[in-house]
Structure 1
Amino acid sequence: MSTGHVLLGLLSRGQQHGYDLKRAHDDRFPAAKPMAYGQVYASLERLHRQGFVEPVAVQRVDGPDRTVYAITATGRAELTDWIETVETPFVHVANPLATKVTVALLVTDTAYATTCLERQRASHLDAMRRYTRAKTDPSLPIHEVLAADYAIAHLDADLQWMESALQRVAALGEAIAT
């Protein structure tokens, strides 16, 4: 995810200052890591240098001055290009679970690696249950339902991988031992 593109998307709804953009990001993308204020302002400065946003006003609201930004026509074109660009699947996928299992096998034995995988599986199942309960709440906004669906799909893929890994741990342990 490009922070700049997310900010352009939020600005496409209307003029805002950094504080409002941070809050809007955290509200609209509840499954994402909260955005730091410094990240917002650094991204806005970069977007301004690129001609994608422009300052349109300065407001004083119980504190320091706040610069209000608007998306430019160039920024809208950039946002459209980004949205319409098909994401290429990653060739190298970082998998911290696979790394942990391999290290667990290096450190001890297959029983330990198996126990670690089983604990991880239980944690994933708990998270999957929480997301499933949350997304069935009729008052949940659609962007949170979409985020829950995405999380569930990824948790399910991890669980499938864990099942496969549990079946392969003994063979992997033997390969590492040699």
Structure 2
Amino acid sequence: MSLRYAVLTLLDIEPGSGYDLKRRFERSVSHFWSASHQQMYRELHKLHEEGLLDCTEQRQEGKPDKKIYSLTEMGRAALREWVQRPASAQKIREPFLIQLFAGHLLDREQAREAVQRQLREHRALLQGYEEQNERVLQRDPAVNERYWLAHQTLLLGIEAEKTWIAWAENLLLQLEQK
């Protein structure tokens, strides 16, 4: 997948400015796809040049005009074509697991601290996902029905964090016994 389809998807849901898009990205797909602010703006400009996005300027008092992007019919067709293609499963890319793979270079206390640090981070991620899920469940049922599959990505994130936490807690118990 590329950033272009994340951008097209988010603008299919609702038109918006680059700033709006970045905020939406951070609240949704950033949990499983990353992009910098600069990458997002470059992609917006490229998609607009390719005719996949329309751009209208909205006047603002005392500020530069705001550019509002929306999908063109060509953009919607490109998104529809892409979403129907099979996607291959991706392998995990987790720097901490490489560090753990070299864990024989750590003493027991260093290993425990490293796992505990990751455990805190994953617990915080889980809490954030669960809070986001509560907000989703409070939305208009018609909106939830339309974006039911998008919601499934959040539920997978919750389950993945629960699994990660259980694995790390078990690893800490094993480190205590060594």
* TM-score, shorter chain, exceeding 0.5: yes
Select between 31-40 and 73-82 the one with higher mean Cα deviation.
31-40
Distance in structure 1 (CA, Å) of the matches to 2:80 and 2:102: 43
Answer yes or no: is 1:155 the counterpart of 2:161: yes
TM-score (norm 1): 0.64
Aligned-residue Cα RMSD (Å) equals 4.0
Could you tell me which runs of 5 or more consecutive residues in structure 2 were left unpaired when the two chains were aligned. none
For the 8 Å contact 1:10–1:25, the answer to whether it is kept is yes
Q: Secondary structure, in 3 states, of the residue corresponding to 1:12? A: helix
C-alpha spacing 1:138/1:161, structure 2 compared with 1 (3 Å): closer
Q: Highest CA radius of gyration, 1 or 2?
A: 1
The question of whether the paired residues in 1 share the 8 Å contact of 2:15 and 2:69 is answered with yes
8 Å CA contact retained: 1:7, 1:21: yes
Q: Which residue of 2 aligns with 1:81?
A: 81
Q: CA deviation at 1:8?
A: 1.8
Shift of 1:53: 1.3
How far apart, in 1, do the equivalents of 2:137 and 2:14 lie?
25
Q: What per-residue deviation string (whole Å, max 9, x for no partner) do you get for residues 35-91 of structure 1?
A: 765444321111022221133x3222121123333322221111112222332112x
Distance 2:25 2:78 in 1: 19
- 1:112 aligns to what? 110
Cα pair 1:58 1:65 within 8 Å, conserved: yes
Partner residue, 2:19 = 19
Q: TM-score w.r.t. structure 2 length?
A: 0.64
Alignment of 1:116-155 (within 5 A): 116-121=114-119, 123-125=121-123, 127-128=125-126, 131-132=129-130, 135=133, 140-141=138-139, 146=152, 148-155=154-161
Q: In percent, how many aligned pairs have the same letter?
A: 24
Secondary structure (helix, strand or coil) at the match of 1:82 reads helix
1:52 alignment partner AA: L
CA contact (8 A) 1:134 1:140 kept: no
Distance 1:129 1:59 in 2: 37
Q: Partner amino acid for 2:42?
A: A
Alpha-carbon distance between aligned partners in 2 of 1:118 and 1:81, rounded to the nearest angstrom:
44
CA contact under 8 A between 2:6 and 2:29: conserved in structure 1?
A: no
